[in-house]
Amino acid sequence: MQKNITISTGKREALYDITKDVMKVVKDVSIDTGVVNVYVQGATAGIMIQENWDQSVQNDVINLLQKHIPKGIWEHDMQDGNADAHLKAGLVGPSESIPIINGHIGLSTWQNIFLCEFDGPRTRRNIVVTLTKSA
């Protein structure tokens, strides 16, 4: 089973909480035990599981990546000026897999699923949610 989630992003670099969107897909499919894979299409975005208690952790993620992968110093910047976004997306990765336990996403209390935007703003970021039922 597969469904798409589409969101728009308003900043060049930010984390967007998509947990409720993914939870809705899992609920609608009614799988008791399995795996949900969350995958963003695009070479300048990623998917990350992180804390969402307050904005500080999300800000820290962006600040860390900006310090270690600054904008404007990479070879690919000669083509379109977004080499840092490609490198950040490569480090974070395009997907996360989460177990489905008793019909619910197996996240802990402080875990949420984030789209990591590194080359926004974008009117459309397409996220593919794939559900696999355990035998």
- Mind listing the pLDDT tens digit for each residue in 50-87? 998 999 999 999 999 999 999 999 989 889 999 999 99
Beta strand 14-17 pairing with 34-40: unpaired
Q: Residue 34 has which token pair?
A: 């399995």
Residue at token pair 């969107």: 21
Residue whose token pair is 């209390």: 109
Identify the segments of the chain with pLDDT beneath 70: none
Give the residue among 19, 13, 17 at the shortest CA–CA distance from 86: 13
Q: How many CB atoms lie within 10 A of CB 15?
A: 23
Supply the pTM of this predicted model. 0.95
Domain 2-133 has CATH 1.10.1040.10: no
Residues 6+ apart with CB under 8 A from 109: none
Mean pLDDT of the chain: 96
